[in-house]
Amino acid sequence: MADMDHIMEISKKHSLSVLEDAAEAFGMKWKGKGDTYRHAGTIGDAGIFSFFPTKTLGAYGDGGMIITNDDKLGELSRIYRVHGAKTKYHYDYIGYNSRLDTMQAAILNVKMKYINNAIKRREEIANLYRERLKDIEGLKLPVIKGDQIPVYYVFNVLCEKRDELNEYLKKNGIGTSIYYPMPLHLQNCFSYLGYKKGDFPVSERACKEILALPIYPELRDEEVEYVCEKIREFYKK
């Protein structure tokens, strides 16, 4: 998680609302300067979660959840999710058809029973990656900052010659993902903002170097070892 203490200090100073994009953060908890751990999505004014099938807690189709302690935001969210209607067939806003269907909710209810085991297994896989890849030059592993409980929805690394490594892994039967290949300020949909290449060098560098390695609860240790072996092979060459 990001440094939520710092973010909340800034928001308080400038009277800003905080919307937590917790789409990939189910199970993550932040302690920071406080006395207790707080779940991702519960610290700001509202938190947004995704239940896309690949997420830590995923359904069998699209789905999501908004949480908030603000009654007004909660009411607006309920209105917007059903076409903008507060009363059926009477529309106060232009809204969406964005309800979580019963089948997906039922699947999520069952998977919730096993979520702690799934999170634990993801941590075991992440630790195995750290141990096997820690001494490879040209590879940077994720670092946990602050007092928090992470959940490895993905295991991202920053790597030199990312595209060549990615291709090498794919040739050896290893699936990877790039989250994400192009930063927001260079996307066509935001061209009207007037940003250009070089305006956000950290984001641009991350997009050129980032690579997500395989991680999911059913992944076996020997499969993780195989991924690490192929990465080591690549950098030796």
Residue 14: how many other CB atoms lie within 10 Å = 7
Cα separation, 219 vs 227, whole angstroms: 11
Is 104 part of a structural domain of the chain?
no
Query: pLDDT (tens digit, 9 = 90+) per residue, 154-195?
Result: 999 999 999 999 999 999 999 999 999 999 999 999 999 999
Is 190 part of a structural domain of the chain?
yes
Mark 142-155 as b/e (b = at least 16 C-beta within 10 Å): eeeeeebbbbbbbb
Cα separation, 209 vs 166, whole angstroms: 10
Residue 29 sits in a domain of what CATH number?
3.40.640.10
Number of residues assigned to the chain: 237
Provide the pLDDT for residue 145: 87
Do 119 and 232 fall within a single domain? yes
Query: pLDDT (tens digit, 9 = 90+) per residue, 66-86?
Result: 999 999 999 999 999 999 999
Overall number of domains in the chain: 2
Residue range of the domain that includes 87: 4-50+64-99
Is 107 part of a structural domain of the chain?
no
Is 56 part of a structural domain of the chain?
no
Do 206 and 94 fall within a single domain? no
Residue 185 sits in a domain of what CATH number?
3.90.1150.10
Is 110 part of a structural domain of the chain?
no
Kindly indicate the confidence band of residue 32, based on its pLDDT and cuts at 50, 70 and 90.
Answer: confident
Do 44 and 157 fall within a single domain? no
Query: What's this model's pTM, rounded to 2 decimal places?
Result: 0.91
R_g over Cα of the chain: 20
When pLDDT is averaged across residues 35-54 and rounded to a whole number, the result is 96
